[in-house]
Amino acid sequence: MIIEWNITKKRGNFRPVLTYTISLEDFEKELGLPQVVLESNIPEPPDSWSASCLPGKCERNGCDCTAYRIYTPDHKTGETSGKLMLPWREGSDYPEVKESFLKLRNNFEAVLKEAYDSHPIDVEGKLELSGDTRRHIASGLVSQRFLKAAGF
């Protein structure tokens, strides 16, 4: 799995935007892995629909942020991407992003190892009548064929 992200912010009262892409490698897709969903530590501002946060408003006034949910891609598509609005911060430092992606990777790796340890199988089988049953019906079949050949 490859996780790539970028945080950009315009000058001024604009909020930073986190864009990310998570891609599964071919061998991971072939294992039919479930999605790993994580309640991240990445803060979601109260009005994340807005690209800006004015002084004294929302997170700049002490309002609490919730957290975003992040997840790995479905094994059929193999890729997911997202665009998340981050809260405005004086220092523009967001260590939660890397921490959350690390946690997602660790959880994914546990699922990956478990799936990999489920070994493939290819089992074939064939059953025929047992010898005991063949002996039981053999005399009747021989008699029937003998009578049919004799014209009875």
Instruction: Please count the structural domains in the chain.
Output: 1
- Following CA atoms 21, 82, 97, 111 in sequence, which dihedral angle do they give, to the nearest 10 degrees? -60
The tokens of 53 are what? Answer: 């946060």
Instruction: Quickly state the pLDDT bin for 136 (edges 50, 70, 90).
Output: confident
Task: Please report whether residue 31 resides in a domain.
Answer: yes
Single out the residue of 92, 86, 112, 91 nearest to residue 19, CA to CA: 86
pLDDT tens digit sequence for 23-59: 999 999 999 999 999 999 999 998 999 999 989 898 8
- Helices H, strands E: what count in the chain? 3, 5
Task: Please report whether residue 24 resides in a domain.
Answer: yes
pLDDT tens digit sequence for 76-103: 999 999 999 999 998 889 999 999 999 9
Q: Which domain holds residue 37?
A: 2-116
**DSSP class of residue 120?**
-
Q: How far apart are CA 102 and CA 74, in angstroms?
A: 19
